[in-house]
Amino acid sequence: MTEQRHRPATRTDPYDEAGTAPARPALRVVHQPDDIDLTAAEAAAGQFLNALGISTASESLHGTPGRMARAYAELFSPRPFDLTTFPNDEGYDELVLARRIPVRSVCEHHLLPFVGTAHVGYLPGARILGLSKLARVVEHFACRPQVQERLTKQVADWLQTQLEPKGVGVVIEAEHSCMTLRGVQATGSSTMTSTLLGLLRSDARSRSEFLALTGAAS
């Protein structure tokens, strides 16, 4: 479950002190998963390993079920953050792009990790976004069982809704261990997905610039 709520900003813009415009409250973004029961998860992990013929009786494996439970709980629990935005006073209308944002998630089909990088950009409207928040949004949607296609679209759609920019683009390139470590064992292969919204989809020049800067056009 994703909970979003506005709360008073911890600091105000200079414009607020001058009395010309009120500060927009920061949006507190929290992903609250269903109740986590680490004790039950540890017991289930032990049963899972034993069912596969892996004994946890040895000293080195005795604590493995607990470590498994805590590791997956961490993978599925993104950190809360404040979506801070600022007025676009200068009317900046060119592309803002954060490249090579680390991505780590878990494939919902095999519960095996996939890792890679995300390129997230937007064409500003009335407000601009704190740059670190682009990485926070990626983490927010990646920390749960996922498929890469959905993750790409969730990041783009959410930014379009919350920021109301003129356009949003998201490109993710990742290596899936469900492909490289099992099954076809396609070592070194990667998967690329993209979502383009607004002018980054409809305007050829903006689209080409974004794809060229992310490397997706090469």
Q: Which residues are catalytic?
A: 107-110, 148, 176, 178
The H or E element that residue 21 is part of is none
Residue type, 128: I
Q: Is 142 left (phi over 0), alpha (psi -120 to 50) or beta?
A: alpha
Q: Using CA atoms, how far apart are residues 156 and 139, in angstroms rounded to an integer?
A: 13
Q: Which two tokens stand for residue 200?
A: 């980054």
Nearest to 83, CA basis, from 188, 154, 171, 162: 162
Q: What's the CA gap between 65 and 42, in Å, rounded? A: 5
